[in-house]
Amino acid sequence: MAASSLRVQCVLRRATVPSLVVILGATGTGKSKLAIEIGKRLQGEIISADSMQVYKGLDIITNKVTAEERAQCAHHMLDFVDPLVRTYTVVDFRNKALDRNKLPIVVGGTNYYIESLLWKVLLDTGVTDGGQSRKMELEKLGGEELHKRLAEVDPKMASMLHPNDKRKIARSLQIHNDTGVPHSHWLEEQRQGGDGLGGPLRFPDPCIFWLHADMAALDQRLDARVDEMLATGLLEELRDFHLRYNQQKVQDDSQDYQHGIFQSIGFKEFHDYLTAPESSSQQEKDKLRDKGVEALKIATKRYARKQNKWVCNRFLKREFLSANLCMEGCVWGRVCVCVCSLLQSRES
């Protein structure tokens, strides 16, 4: 294994153009652990593709890597957006994330963040914060009304979106309002020259790994992770964040769990617990706490299935090389072989 690792490092040193490694998978499958191993041994740097981890705060609930893990390998796109900012977009993420010189190792669970780095399909209309504000105003309308408006200006896009998907509908309306061009037209134009899955690739021959686990085993692992979060101070973190950033919004009836870090899985699930009257008995508080814990476990497992569904829809429509790998022992060796082969082919 040592010789194989050395051979890969030699190949990497000779490569003149950095490749792109992407690690996909549901939450809890060990993506961060594998990314750190690749980063350490292949002299790469990790790009976190997680829309909640860009914000400062809520380190436990968003499952950020620890300071010790960050010390092992350089990490980017973590902890730099103020939690009160509601207008940070995937365009902002893409523009900042791509400014790297070393081997980029993209790891995370936010699908559209990953897509923005893999494909040249992300629409950048130069929209300002005012455009984002208009989008949020649109989202306050009912789904049926939004869908009706979109059908009038972009029937093709409307046919692809469910009336309940208010955020995507509002985004399409915003694009049409700002550019005068239907969103569907922009997407068709940008997909030209692609492979049918997402348009032209941003990086040639990206190396993509999918960490997949038996769902029954993963469910148990995710439940255990929530229990570990509780043991490491989850409730204290949520309580502190609520007092600093959300309590006043609740009192003003202006709380918003649909934008920014406030939409993190695990924050809104504890809303009743965090906003319980001071006069509540300990038994009542414990009941609300247990309700939040159960809601968090359910939401986390639901999100894991959503992530897997995205991988299947976006990557498994074409032939791919599949291998059953156990996390301990042999994953790293096979990853080395794949990355090494990719870089060698690009040198020739």
Q: What is the pLDDT of residues 128-177, one digit of tens each?
A: 545 566 777 777 778 888 899 999 999 999 999 998 888 888 888 888 88
pLDDT-derived band at 181, boundaries 50, 70, 90: confident
| Helical ranges in the chain per DSSP H | 2-14, 31-41, 67-72, 90-97, 111-118, 129-139, 143-153, 155-160, 166-179, 183-191, 215-231, 234-241, 247-251, 271-274, 282-315, 331-347
**Which residue intervals of the chain bear CATH 1.10.287.890?**
217-302
pLDDT-derived band at 90, boundaries 50, 70, 90: confident
Tell me: pLDDT of 224 over 90.
yes
Tell me: pLDDT of 318 over 60.
no
The mean pLDDT of 302-326, rounded to a whole number, is 72
pLDDT-derived band at 343, boundaries 50, 70, 90: low
Tell me: pLDDT of 59 over 50.
yes
10 vs 28: CA distance, rounded Å: 32
**Which residue intervals of the chain bear CATH 3.40.50.300?**
2-124+201-215+308-347
Tens digits of residue pLDDT in 197-209: 666 788 877 888 8
* Residue 342 tokens, joined: 């990719």
**Which residue intervals of the chain bear CATH 1.10.20.140?**
129-191
CATH for 129-191 is 1.10.20.140
CATH number for domain 217-302, candidates 1.10.287.890, 3.40.50.1100, 3.40.50.970, 3.30.530.20: 1.10.287.890
CATH for 2-124+201-215+308-347 is 3.40.50.300
